[in-house]
């Protein structure tokens, strides 16, 4: 037999992962323990399994020789009803017929975290991460102090921490402008509607239409017009080949959130941004699309769900049963749970911060095994908040480090990375990537608007001192100090592949972006 790993692998009919005297000791759902929604991806574009070198426990599939005591149907029942033919293997009576594992995100993409269940950034290289992007968990096959690791006893190729590497490559370098087709409107029309209030004389006289990502507001660098911007970014209703490099020149983030914040209420506010919002669901059983009004704070695992509220009632016409709903739906947080989560996040920020980049905030630390290197700040906060502790408690058997003691099956470097609930990462489980989807694209590690207060004093001939107080609000904008370089130029970059240093203006390399004085006022002494 060959099948994807199950969340109850290694569990006997007694409900335990250890053999019991007097019991039949039959493995009902496979023999290998693990967390298949996180660490054993069976859907990689290419899978290479070297059984002469690596152990079965590291593989995405479980291969076994199984006896056939009767008819083949006894072990491989075929269910051709409701959706599609399926070989249910040995989980027919305990498993679920429809469980969401990966998705093609509905567009337009708005956040890097939208990639987390898309199967992007997986590869044939071990370990087989299931949701690397936006998440931060260390794979148990790897050492905590490595992101790239050679281990000839496991693989002829290097072991890659897909999560650390993908997050480092994506965060701080890329974002989604959402200048994308919307209904019958092509990208250039979407751009026009977005920029209308900036350049009303040159573009159609109509109210500005927000982008799908409403975190953005229009911006025009000095010397630019909406018309010239459109001509530069679009041609024949499509983005130009260089549009991806220059689109950010015409957008600014409205109300960015600094993830170095240690204010619990601020974290609550940003995480509750979807409070009482509508949730789109494509039901797994009858394939009907429904918009559900959420009464609480929904935390969504996918852009288009295949189930309703996890733990909630399940209509028989829409989904098989309550258990199936848990593996396809979403979660809601109460105000008390949100307060606890925000409090734990602040603890992690104080412990790990200040973060100098978004990838540093998203990723785990790389170093000696500890809580800091097993997962990133948000993932650790989720664990400490206990908001997942009531999920799937009756359907699964928790994983312990002792479950990986069999050296014939496992060769984990960091077994502690996989202990806990083996259903972790399923749609009803709140993960770091789910929170990143809420935080992006407004999340940042620094502020671009500053309040500066100054005091000046003068002394006359009689020794009398006169003081004056002033306040200025200063904003950092995309343009450089020297306008010879356009805002999209990276003044510090190296031009590849020739490794020639950037030709940006020396002034821009030294001073960077321009600072504009937004407001200025004199202060009275009682305002100090």
- Model pLDDT for residues 511-527, shown as the tens digit of each residue: 999 999 999 999 998 88
pLDDT of residue 83: 55
Q: Give the pair of three-digit tokens for residue 455.
A: 């005091």
Q: Of 2, 26, 22, give the one whose Cα is nearest residue 13.
A: 26
pLDDT of residue 153: 77
Residue 164 has pLDDT above 60, yes or no: yes
Partners of residue 474 on adjacent β-strands: 450, 517
Residue 508 has pLDDT above 60, yes or no: yes
- Model pLDDT for residues 397-426, shown as the tens digit of each residue: 899 998 998 888 998 999 999 999 999 999
For the segment 127-151, the average pLDDT, to the nearest whole number, is 94
pLDDT of residue 281: 92
pLDDT of residue 233: 95
Share of the chain above pLDDT 90, in %: 54
Give the whole-angstrom CA distance, residue 412 versus residue 54.
11
Give the CA-trace dihedral at 521, 522, 524, 528, to 10 degrees: 70
pLDDT of residue 523: 95
For the segment 175-180, the average pLDDT, to the nearest whole number, is 93
First-to-last CA distance in the chain? 75
pLDDT of residue 286: 86
- Model pLDDT for residues 228-248, shown as the tens digit of each residue: 899 999 999 999 999 999 999
Residue 207 has pLDDT above 80, yes or no: no
Q: Give the pair of three-digit tokens for residue 419.
A: 């202990």
pLDDT of residue 202: 53
pLDDT of residue 289: 93
| DSSP codes joined into one string, 392-413 | TTTT---B-GGGG--TTT---S
- Model pLDDT for residues 360-394, shown as the tens digit of each residue: 999 999 999 999 999 999 999 999 999 999 887 77
pLDDT of residue 157: 84
More confident residue, 147 or 408: 147
pTM of the entire structure?
0.89
Confidence grade of residue 197 (pLDDT, cut at 50, 70, 90) = low
For the segment 139-152, the average pLDDT, to the nearest whole number, is 92
Residue 49 has pLDDT above 80, yes or no: no
Confidence grade of residue 203 (pLDDT, cut at 50, 70, 90) = low
pLDDT of residue 452: 95
Residue 458 has pLDDT above 90, yes or no: yes
pLDDT of residue 383: 96
Range scoring the smallest mean pLDDT among 41-50, 341-350, 362-371: 41-50
Confidence grade of residue 335 (pLDDT, cut at 50, 70, 90) = very high
More confident residue, 261 or 489: 261
pLDDT of residue 213: 87
State how far the alpha carbon of 288 is from the alpha carbons of 102, 282, 305, 317, 341, in Å: 19, 6, 11, 10, 34
For the segment 80-99, the average pLDDT, to the nearest whole number, is 62
| DSSP codes joined into one string, 465-501 | EEEEEEEEEEEEEEEESSTTS-TT--TT-EETTTTEE
More confident residue, 159 or 151: 159
- Model pLDDT for residues 493-506, shown as the tens digit of each residue: 765 555 567 788 99
For the segment 461-479, the average pLDDT, to the nearest whole number, is 93
What mean pLDDT is reported for the chain? 88
- Model pLDDT for residues 440-450, shown as the tens digit of each residue: 999 999 989 99
Burial 379-408 (b: 16+ CB within 10 A, else e): bbbbbbbebbeebbeebbbebeeebbeeee
454: left (phi over 0), alpha (psi -120 to 50) or beta: beta
pLDDT of residue 186: 93
Residue 395 has pLDDT above 80, yes or no: no
Share of the chain above pLDDT 70, in %: 92
pLDDT of residue 498: 58
From the number of C-beta atoms within 10 Å of its C-beta (0-12, 13-18, 19+), residue 179 rates as buried
């Amino acid at each position: 037999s060959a099948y994807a790993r199950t969340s109850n692998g290694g569990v006997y009919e007694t409900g335990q992962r250890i053999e019991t005297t007097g019991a039949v000791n039959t493995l009902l759902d496979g023999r290998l323990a693990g967390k298949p929604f996180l660490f054993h991806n069976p859907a990689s574009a290419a899978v290479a399994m070297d059984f002469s070198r690596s152990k079965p426990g590291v593989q995405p599939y479980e291969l076994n020789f199984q006896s056939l005591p009767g008819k083949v149907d006894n072990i491989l029942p075929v269910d051709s009803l409701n959706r599609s033919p399926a070989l249910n293997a040995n989980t027919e009576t305990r498993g679920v017929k429809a469980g969401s594992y990966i998705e093609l995100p509905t567009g337009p993409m708005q956040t890097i975290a939208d990639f987390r269940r898309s199967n992007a950034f997986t590869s044939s290289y071990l370990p087989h991460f299931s949701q690397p992007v936006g998440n931060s968990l260390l794979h148990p096959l790897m050492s905590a102090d490595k992101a790239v690791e050679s281990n000839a006893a496991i693989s002829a190729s290097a072991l890659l921490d897909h999560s650390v590497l993908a997050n480092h490559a994506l965060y701080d370098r890329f974002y989604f402008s959402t200048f994308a087709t919307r209904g019958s409107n092509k990208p250039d029309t979407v751009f026009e509607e977005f920029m209308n209030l900036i350049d009303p004389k040159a573009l159609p006289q109509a109210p500005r239409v927000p982008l799908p990502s409403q975190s953005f507001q229009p911006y025009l660098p000095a010397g630019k017009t909406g018309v010239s911007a459109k001509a530069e970014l679009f041609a024949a209703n499509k983005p130009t080949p260089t549009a991806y490099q220059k689109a950010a020149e015409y957008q600014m983030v409205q109300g960015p959130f600094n993830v170095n914040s240690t204010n619990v209420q601020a974290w609550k506010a940003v995480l509750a941004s979807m409070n009482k919002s509508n949730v789109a669901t494509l039901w797994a059983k009858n394939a009907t699309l429904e918009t559900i009004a959420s009464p609480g704070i929904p935390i969504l695992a996918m852009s288009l769900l295949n189930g309703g509220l996890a733990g909630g009632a399940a209509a028989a016409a829409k989904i098989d049963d309550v258990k199936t709903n848990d593996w396809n739906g979403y979660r809601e947080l109460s105000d008390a749970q949100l307060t606890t989560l925000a409090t734990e996040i602040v603890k992690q920020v104080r412990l790990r911060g200040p973060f100098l980049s978004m990838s540093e905030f998203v990723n785990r630390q790389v170093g000696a095994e500890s809580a800091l290197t097993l997962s990133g700040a948000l993932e650790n906060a989720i664990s400490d908040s206990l908001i997942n502790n009531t999920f799937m408690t009756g359907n699964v058997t928790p994983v312990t480090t002792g479950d990986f003691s069999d050296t014939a099956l496992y060769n984990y470097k960091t077994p502690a990375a996989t202990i806990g609930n083996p259903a972790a990462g399923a749609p009803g489980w709140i993960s770091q990537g789910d929170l990143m989807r809420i935080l992006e694209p407004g999340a940042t590690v620094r502020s671009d608007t500053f309040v500066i207060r100054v005091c000046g004093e003068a002394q006359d001939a009689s020794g009398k001192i006169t003081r004056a107080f002033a306040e200025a609000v200063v904003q950092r904008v995309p343009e450089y100090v020297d306008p010879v370089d356009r805002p999209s130029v990276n003044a510090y970059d190296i031009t590849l592949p020739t490794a020639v240093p950037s030709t940006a203006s020396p002034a821009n390399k030294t001073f960077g972006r321009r600072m504009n004085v937004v407001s200025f006022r004199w202060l009275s002494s009682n305002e100090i």
